A and B are shown apart, each in its own frame.
Chain A
Amino acid sequence: MSDHETGNRPSRRAFLGGAAAAGALTAGGARAQTPDPLITEIQPWAQGFGDGVDAVRYGLPIEYEGDVIRRNVEWLTADTISSINFTPIHALEGTITPQGCAFERHHSGAIDLRKEDYRLMINGLVDRPLVFNYADLERFPRENHVYFCECAANTGMEWAGAQLNGAQFTHGMIHNMEYTGVPLRILLEEAGLDTAGDLADKWVFVEGADASSNGRSIPMEKALDDVLVAFKANGEALRKEHGYPVRLVVPGWEGNMWVKWIRRIEVMDGPVESREETSKYTDTLEDGTSRKWTWAMDAKSVVTSPSPQAPVTHGTGPLVISGLAWSGRGAITRVDVSKDGGMSWETARLARPGERMALSRFYLDTHWDGSEMLLQSRAMDDTGYVQPTKAQLRAVRGLNSIYHNNCIQTWLLRANGEAENVEVS
């Protein structure tokens, strides 16, 4: 292996370490030449004590997993307050995102809002404008659902070409959690919607308690369907940076609409056309016109391993290709994987049947002969939609849409096991 190969740190250390051992590991079932001291000698952990149960009251991952952290990309934004960071999806498995490394996107920073100080107002075209405190919300009937939250800008830096080298950076503006909360429908009914009359042309405007407010307009049909006012995620309270104590969960729709620290819901007879649905989160096409209200996140997938931050360190032989697929318009029904840049495809295995508007894990258990591969994955959802190539997307939209890039991703896996973000013909 060449010393001047570049891979994305911090995986390089692991890569180098793994490569050194590759000769021994490649053969898989080969006989050991000398006894392994990790087996033949008593190790300290097998002799003495570990930590007591009182050592850590709320634990963090073991230090050896120090790689599995959020990362930000400084040049993307003017500062770190109205900015983004990225979930380390290259290192995760299954579908549930650990909250502590689940991505953040703020417009005026992650605010500190106590339950005691929390208020939620419902006003506008309702029979009775209401104010709830946090305790009120916990007295409404609850539901639990797993949904992905994907930033509209996820993969947005890749419109013009292959730019960032790692699945964390190209696809990591996403997390997937089990939410507990109250259907927005129930809260609206508590305020009463008779005043609103025909609900077909009504909207709700939702905004947060932070300085940016992040106000967005949502059509009433969606508000009454599956939107949740959530106060727990993955079993515990929301993290501060994810909207503590209460956020909106808008299944399948762009993450910007998942208003955090939600403080007000107004029933209206039209959209507000706020800053976050005019200046931002509108998608400019090649002719200069722009789409607005592009709410749903379309079917998408990515191979998380191997990937630039997760190189192959074990040499040839059995190789697990692992990845994520999701669709904002339904459930993933199938994922195909290509090793030759889309010339031919094999259907991968879904770890579990796809769930609506939630991440699905797929696997292709394969045998790697050590030759270069151009790895791709292609998701399909239960509407029959097939994840497009970047060329297909560009043909419709041009290069300036910024948001909603759900193209097929290609990783070039080299003979030495390192991977790179590339585009292919």
Chain B
Amino acid sequence: APAMADKLGLGRAALPEEIAAWDGDVRPDGTGLPVGSGDAIIGEEIFATQCAACHGDFAEGIGNWPKLAGGMDTLYHDDPLKTVGSYWPYLSTAFDYIKRSMPYGNAGTLSDDETYAILAYILYSNDLIDDDFVLSNETFLDVEMPNADGFIVDDRAETEYAQWRGEPCMENCKPEPVSVTMRAMVLDVTPQEEAQAPAEETNVAETAAQAEPEVVAA
């Protein structure tokens, strides 16, 4: 440990009530979970009034709003569907996030029991629990998250850095003359600020590109 500096005596002691008010994080092993419970049947009603306007009646998502259910076994597809069921490694994250930051625009208003119930409904919508399963601080770790083992710690040092180091090519770096293989104007999804004529037809080789709305999706 580095040498500790002298304290300046700034700030004041945090009171237990203050820490309790702000420290709500829940860890993968369940640390931080409040006492409480709820099931999918109760959760469905709450979800319908608090969540479904954006996330759909079955957590399937509406429009560009996040899908919370579905997408099982799609992670290796061209267009993976990443949901609580198909992607999220830990249930703790869902409790923590829903309790603190949802509903969007009215965050922090759900009780602990409501949060358990909503989460049970999301799990049910993902076919991960039966409708009689009561999710609580005690049963929390009984739920198996399908993608719990789907993550590796950043391995760029091993898989990338070694091969991209060193003196790069400066002359005659490609075997064939360089040609254009894809053009942004073909897709034409860049915001425009005044009227314009349509894009010229071209005979440049084109690969169909898909706009990717999930890059910064909420």
Q: Is the CB of B168 within 8 A of A336?
A: yes
- For B187, the closest partner residue in chain A by CB is A163
B165 surroundings in chain A (CB, below 8 A): 383-386
A336 to chain B, nearest CB (A): 7
Kindly specify which of B16-24, B35-43, B119-127 makes contact with the partner chain: B16-24
Q: Is the CB of B180 within 8 A of A422?
A: yes
A423 surroundings in chain B (CB, below 8 A): 180-183
Inter-chain CA distance A402–B132, complex, in Å, is 37
B215 surroundings in chain A (CB, below 8 A): 76, 153, 156-157, 402
Inter-chain CA distance A174–B146, complex, in Å, is 35
Contact of B212 among A163, A207, A289 (CB under 8 A): A163
Inter-chain CA distance A224–B3, complex, in Å, is 11
A385 surroundings in chain B (CB, below 8 A): 161, 164-165
Contact of A400 among B18, B80, B181 (CB under 8 A): B80
> Which residues of A in the span 283-336 have a Cβ within 8 Å of any Cβ on B?
284, 286-296, 298, 308, 336
> Which residues of A in the span 1-39 have a Cβ within 8 Å of any Cβ on B?
2-6, 8-10, 12-13
A351 within 8 A of B: no
> Which residues of B in the span 155-202 have a Cβ within 8 Å of any Cβ on A?
155-156, 159-161, 164-166, 168-174, 176-185, 187-194, 196-200
Q: Is the CB of B154 within 8 A of A293?
A: yes
**Contact-residue size bin, chain A (C-beta under 8 Å from the other chain):** 35 or more
Inter-chain CA distance A215–B198, complex, in Å, is 44
A71 surroundings in chain B (CB, below 8 A): 191
Kindly specify which of B45-53, B91-99, B134-142 makes contact with the partner chain: B91-99
Inter-chain CA distance A282–B87, complex, in Å, is 10
A345 within 8 A of B: yes
Q: Is the CB of A121 within 8 A of B194?
A: no
Q: Which of B27, B88, B97, B164 is most buried by chain A, counting CB atoms within 10 A of its CB?
A: B164
- For B200, the closest partner residue in chain A by CB is A4
Given A4-B197, A8-B192, A108-B101: A291 in contact with B12 (beta carbons within 8 A) = no
B14 surroundings in chain A (CB, below 8 A): 121-123, 129-131
B212 surroundings in chain A (CB, below 8 A): 156-157, 159-160, 163, 402
A45 within 8 A of B: no
Q: Is the CB of B10 within 8 A of A162?
A: no
Q: Is the CB of B182 within 8 A of A162?
A: yes
Q: Which of A10, A169, A211 is most buried by chain B, counting CB atoms within 10 A of its CB?
A: A211
Q: Is the CB of B27 within 8 A of A163?
A: no
B18 to chain A, nearest CB (A): 7
Contact of A383 among B13, B161, B170, B192 (CB under 8 A): B161
A279 within 8 A of B: yes
B174 surroundings in chain A (CB, below 8 A): 341-343, 425
Known: A78-B66, A162-B187, A374-B180. 8 other contacts (CB 8 A): A74-B191, A77-B64, A83-B216, A108-B104, A156-B212, A157-B211, A293-B153, A424-B180
Chain A residues in the interface with B (C-beta under 8 A): 2-6, 8-10, 12-13, 71-79, 81-84, 105, 107-108, 121-124, 128-132, 136, 139-140, 151, 153, 156-157, 159-166, 169, 185-186, 189-194, 198-199, 205, 207, 211-213, 215, 224, 263-264, 266, 268, 270, 272-275, 278-279, 282, 284, 286-296, 298, 308, 336, 340-345, 374, 378, 380, 383-388, 392, 396, 399-400, 402, 412, 420-425
Chain B residues in the interface with A (C-beta under 8 A): 1-2, 4-5, 7-8, 10-14, 18-19, 22-23, 25-28, 54, 63-66, 75-76, 78-80, 82, 84, 87-90, 92-94, 96-97, 100-101, 104-105, 107-108, 150-156, 159-161, 164-166, 168-174, 176-185, 187-194, 196-200, 207, 209-218
Q: List 23 A-B contacts (CB under 8 A).
A: A3-B197, A4-B199, A6-B198, A6-B199, A9-B193, A10-B193, A73-B191, A76-B215, A77-B216, A78-B64, A78-B65, A122-B11, A139-B8, A192-B4, A194-B4, A272-B27, A275-B94, A289-B152, A290-B87, A290-B152, A291-B154, A422-B182, A425-B178
